[in-house]
Structure 1
Amino acid sequence: MQLSQLAPLPSDLPFRIVSKTIGQGAYACIKKACPLQEENPVFAVKFIHKEYASRHGRISPRQLQMEVTVHKHIGDHNNIISFFHTGEDATWRWIAMELAEGGDLFDKIEADEGVGEDIAHVYFSQLISAVSYMHSRGVGHRDIKPENILLSEDGNLKIADFGLATVFEYNGKTKLCTTLCGSPPYIAPEVISCSSRGQTKGKGYRADLADIWSCGVVLFVLLAGNTPWDSPTENSYEFSEYVEKNARTTDELWQKLPPATLSLLRGMLKVDVDSRFSMEDVRRHPWFTRQNKYLAPDGRLRDPINLATSMFESLHIDFTQDPLAGSRNGSTRASSAMEIETGNDFETRLSSTQPEMQVGDMLMDWDGPTSHLAANAISSTQPMDNVSSTQSFLMADRLEDEPSMSQFSPNPSVPLSRTQKAQKFHDIVPARPLTRFFSTWALKLLVPLICEALHRLGVPVPTQPPVSGTDSSAVIRVVTKDGRMCMLQGNIVVECVTEGVLEVEFVKIKGDPLEWRRFFKKVTVLCKDAVYKPEY
């Protein structure tokens, strides 16, 4: 059930809604809108159900107002989601803002591999530019993490979600924060040790220095495809070793980093806040000031097509890997049971200030396989092994332009048809996530296979998934913990996109985009017999 179905949205809005729900969380839904008398520009509107926010999110009307006030106070910057307008009635608070049509940045980065040094430098430079500007306005974000780092249509970075942002400096006066907030792998250690807990008042921390720490972790993730630790506490072996060895850790992830980045990372990730790098220190560092072929003097992308191509071709799934083998992060652990629904009508939910992908009742409007596959496609009710070579050829022809197919090739590449027509970043790297595969298995065979894969990964599943021969779709709801013990929530949507062809899409609702891709890869490899892998 969507929130907008529980209570009607305000009727006197100063804009026109032009889409159904494109994102939804526990107490907020997101829709596209445009001016009343125009078709453009299109922007995002976040509708917050005030009662739900108070009941389920413990977010008071004052906190909602603070989010609006702080976001509005920040002003305009190329790498920050712009605030447009706000309003409310008895039920809803709405916030109109810039639409980040490029989706998650980290959805386009390979888990455990990261991106090349030049690409990492581009997005780190844009991140620092945005955060520096926020700090110049006296605002600390306090929740810098991949989930809140989005892309514009042209591939430039955009910081989003100011629900935890705070004004730490005003009229020349600086205040310390005492609220414990943030995501464990990205949070600064002093946020944990200096925050108030219960009746015990913490001594406080500087929001700007906490942001610098988080930016350092983001840089590490860009380069390594993984976080350096679960949390900056003694409970984390990696962090404890980092502290004990004065940042000269033996961890293999650190060993793989470009040598020029080490002094920058160590400066930003100083546990002692008095010796931690300031923003000025970061901006003067030789690695930060290095020349970059992708970065224009104004801080925007100079060569978005080649950058997008490099990112796209780094996404790869190796079917020879053992997804059950022990990893640095340990195994996926479930926090609650999954649910499964079948039929033609289902909903998916998002928890974000921006659409991460098209979802829910927009399903058949997705710019995906249905626009590429012919209506008279092959028909198959059996696994791919039983499909004739002629049918395989037809399948390959119809999926030739599907971007997600590249990752299953031994040598991932951008389809020639996309390269020839490419003019913008999104022409190479689509906003629609690539966490999907196709199959010619029947639904009643494919869903149990996926559930068995989840079971092997430690995620509880129904013992007898209720899928009948007449169903055309199914949704497996996933609620689990990732390798860092942070919440990971989403849906595995299985739908018939044309006769005999099923699409299996992994739709993230909440959690780290890199962790979600890691989860997708493990399930996909376990289901490799059902995954359509054309010959290249």
Structure 2
Amino acid sequence: MGTDFVEDWTIVSTLGEGAFGEVKLLVNKTTSDAVAMKMIDLEKHPKASENVQKEICIHRMLNDPSIIRYYGQRKEGHKEYIFLEYAAGGELFDRIEPDVGMPELIAQKYMRQLMSGVEYLHKKGVCHRDLKPENLLLDANDNLKITDFGMATIFRVRGKERPLETRCGTLPYVAPEVLKRPYRAQPVDIWSCGIILVAMLTGELPWDKPALDCPEYHKFREEQFPSFSPWNKIGNMALSLIYSILKAEPEKRATLDQIHKNRWMCHTFTSNDEKTNCPGSPKRKCYGAGFIDDVDGKICQSQPESLRVSNINDVATAVTHNTNDIISFSQPTHLDDLLLSTQLHFTQSPVNQNHYQKLVKRMTRFFVNTNWETTVQQLCDYFDKQSFKWSINSGMVTITTMDCRNMQLVFKAHVLDMDGHILVDFRLSKGCGLEFKRRFVKIKQHFQNIIVKGAIDTLWLVPTK
């Protein structure tokens, strides 16, 4: 099934890669429990040591339903391991339809949970500093969890607050004062939450960066924005909340208490609600299921979705001293590769929940009626026409391009032959989640003639016996 890490625990997938290391998925062979493991090679990345220790220190302080759970850490030789809760529901950005967003009912739920998590962090004296949909995960019950504390810092100790100096974050989400420095901690996280709400409601980011040399931000500051996208997609009630959050002066920005009491946050939405007074808003669908300056980089990217999580033993204490076989390039690096290497079949209902792990339904995959070779060739032809750079290795096509902000965007297409059923599965590797989704939508539209309509995209993994 994968590479043995310790007794009964197997590495079955690489979940993400970052500047300093990787995130692996560990699964217990007996119980099917799952845990995410950050693995950092300090010999290759000696500058990461301080960041890792800071992240571990912060994780140890936190215990809240809105924060990804920390299980422990282990150091073996020059490798550092951090064990975290595995979020089965994937990343929040995967629930945001590009240029459309999500229903207000769902956005309000996530916003409430996000603000609850941020409030908890700030009470603990922790500032996240890189809040964005890619760093917000969903558990098996569709509850939001904040993750990726690689840029977080402690801003208050024994009641004394310190100003922050490090210019860090992701440009479209950072507060304007971060670009100037110094800045207060709490308002910058609140600002990022406002941008996240815009993204959830509209499927767009309002600007490239919050600086007056950015035309979109300048229009916003001059209050010339109401008739422009994305603002004309937002109802008056939500727009009032967003405007109170996105105040350029931190001292005028809405506080957590004011946000909790806001009319939009307290309103009772129903699934039939449509926003009023926003003629530019497109019809929405309901789905069931970087910038770093003065910082050496992020330890890892946040996790994509996959196996359902149940209670897990303390893996951190079970690590042995034999780590020679942890990384194996012959092993599957993504869960769909793992699916291919085990017994895979399609079903509309689980046979036995004790022995099956459900893969989360996602928007960025489809089945096609062409064979493997034809599918790969058509994909590569399309990427050539789009002037995308691409490379292929073992059925995985890695695509590199630039997004609308002239930032690098890297995503991967896995073409998997499953007993005659060809699955094309796209996953973000680096860059903006919304830009990735826009690319996927265009790719899917281009291949409409070979996509199998109504195909089941929820697969079941049968562990090897």
Name the residue aligned to 2:53: 65
1:274 and 2:251 matched: yes
Which range moved further: 431-440 or 271-280?
431-440
Which deviations, in whole Å up to 9, do the C-alpha atoms of 1:79-98 show, x marking residues without a partner?
11011211212221111121
Looking at structure 2, the residues matched to 210 and 259 of structure 1 have their Cα atoms a distance apart, in angstroms, of 24
Which of 186, 195, 208 is the matching residue for 1:208? 186
Contact 2:36 2:84 in 1 (8 A): yes
Looking at structure 2, the residues matched to 219 and 361 of structure 1 have their Cα atoms a distance apart, in angstroms, of 30
Change (3 A) 1:41 1:502: closer
Amino acid at match of 1:511: G
Change (3 A) 1:166 1:122: same
Shift of 1:35: 8.4
Shift of 1:218: 0.4
Which of 195, 214, 218 is the matching residue for 1:217? 195
Which deviations, in whole Å up to 9, do the C-alpha atoms of 1:211-247 show, x marking residues without a partner?
00000000111110111112112343211111122x7
Which of 40, 61, 64 is the matching residue for 1:48? 40
Shift of 1:41: 5.2
Which of 115, 128, 149 is the matching residue for 2:102? 115
Secondary structure of 1:503 counterpart: strand
Looking at structure 2, the residues matched to 454 and 518 of structure 1 have their Cα atoms a distance apart, in angstroms, of 15
Looking at structure 2, the residues matched to 279 and 260 of structure 1 have their Cα atoms a distance apart, in angstroms, of 17
Which of 449, 454, 462 is the matching residue for 2:383? 454
Name the residue aligned to 1:360: 333
Looking at structure 2, the residues matched to 63 and 76 of structure 1 have their Cα atoms a distance apart, in angstroms, of 20
Secondary structure of 1:241 counterpart: helix
Which of 211, 218, 221 is the matching residue for 1:233? 211
Which of 496, 500, 506 is the matching residue for 2:417? 496
Contact 2:89 2:306 in 1 (8 A): no
Amino acid at match of 2:365: R
Shift of 1:435: 1.1
Looking at structure 2, the residues matched to 148 and 459 of structure 1 have their Cα atoms a distance apart, in angstroms, of 26
Shift of 1:135: 0.4
Name the residue aligned to 2:362: 433
Looking at structure 2, the residues matched to 519 and 236 of structure 1 have their Cα atoms a distance apart, in angstroms, of 24
Secondary structure of 1:208 counterpart: helix
Amino acid at match of 1:265: I
Change (3 A) 1:292 1:367: farther
Which deviations, in whole Å up to 9, do the C-alpha atoms of 1:165-207 show, x marking residues without a partner?
001111111111111111111111111122xxxxxxxxx1112
Change (3 A) 1:192 1:368: farther
Looking at structure 2, the residues matched to 508 and 434 of structure 1 have their Cα atoms a distance apart, in angstroms, of 12
Amino acid at match of 1:183: T
Looking at structure 1, the residues matched to 64 and 193 of structure 2 have their Cα atoms a distance apart, in angstroms, of 18
* Stretches of structure 1 lacking an aligned partner (at least 5 in a row): 195-203, 295-308, 314-349, 374-400, 402-416, 467-472
Looking at structure 2, the residues matched to 81 and 495 of structure 1 have their Cα atoms a distance apart, in angstroms, of 31
Looking at structure 1, the residues matched to 361 and 81 of structure 2 have their Cα atoms a distance apart, in angstroms, of 25
Looking at structure 2, the residues matched to 451 and 257 of structure 1 have their Cα atoms a distance apart, in angstroms, of 38
Amino acid at match of 2:339: W
Change (3 A) 1:362 1:122: closer
Which of 12, 19, 23 is the matching residue for 1:20? 12
Looking at structure 2, the residues matched to 288 and 269 of structure 1 have their Cα atoms a distance apart, in angstroms, of 16
Looking at structure 2, the residues matched to 79 and 121 of structure 1 have their Cα atoms a distance apart, in angstroms, of 15
Name the residue aligned to 1:30: 23
Secondary structure of 1:52 counterpart: coil
Name the residue aligned to 1:182: 169
Which deviations, in whole Å up to 9, do the C-alpha atoms of 1:400-456 show, x marking residues without a partner?
x6xxxxxxxxxxxxxxx569x99xxx98xx525331122232334332321232233
1:482 and 2:382 matched: no
Structure number with greater Rg is 1
Change (3 A) 1:222 1:354: same
1:160 and 2:162 matched: no
Secondary structure of 2:221 counterpart: helix
Looking at structure 1, the residues matched to 410 and 195 of structure 2 have their Cα atoms a distance apart, in angstroms, of 22
Looking at structure 2, the residues matched to 369 and 432 of structure 1 have their Cα atoms a distance apart, in angstroms, of 19
Contact 2:244 2:254 in 1 (8 A): yes
Amino acid at match of 2:303: Q
Amino acid at match of 2:362: P
Contact 1:230 1:485 in 2 (8 A): no
Shift of 1:531: 2.5
Change (3 A) 1:371 1:89: closer
1:124 and 2:45 matched: no
Name the residue aligned to 1:310: 286
Amino acid at match of 1:255: N
Looking at structure 2, the residues matched to 355 and 17 of structure 1 have their Cα atoms a distance apart, in angstroms, of 20
Shift of 1:511: 2.8
Which of 71, 79, 102 is the matching residue for 2:89? 102
The alignment's TM-score, normalised by the length of structure 2, stands at: 0.78
The alignment's TM-score, normalised by the length of structure 1, stands at: 0.68
Secondary structure of 2:43 counterpart: helix
Shift of 1:355: 4.2
Contact 1:491 1:506 in 2 (8 A): yes
Secondary structure of 1:177 counterpart: coil
How high is the sequence identity, in percent, across the aligned residues?
A: 29
* Stretches of structure 2 lacking an aligned partner (at least 5 in a row): 272-284, 290-298, 308-331, 456-465
Higher strand share: 2
Shift of 1:489: 1.7
Looking at structure 1, the residues matched to 162 and 8 of structure 2 have their Cα atoms a distance apart, in angstroms, of 41
Shift of 1:266: 0.6
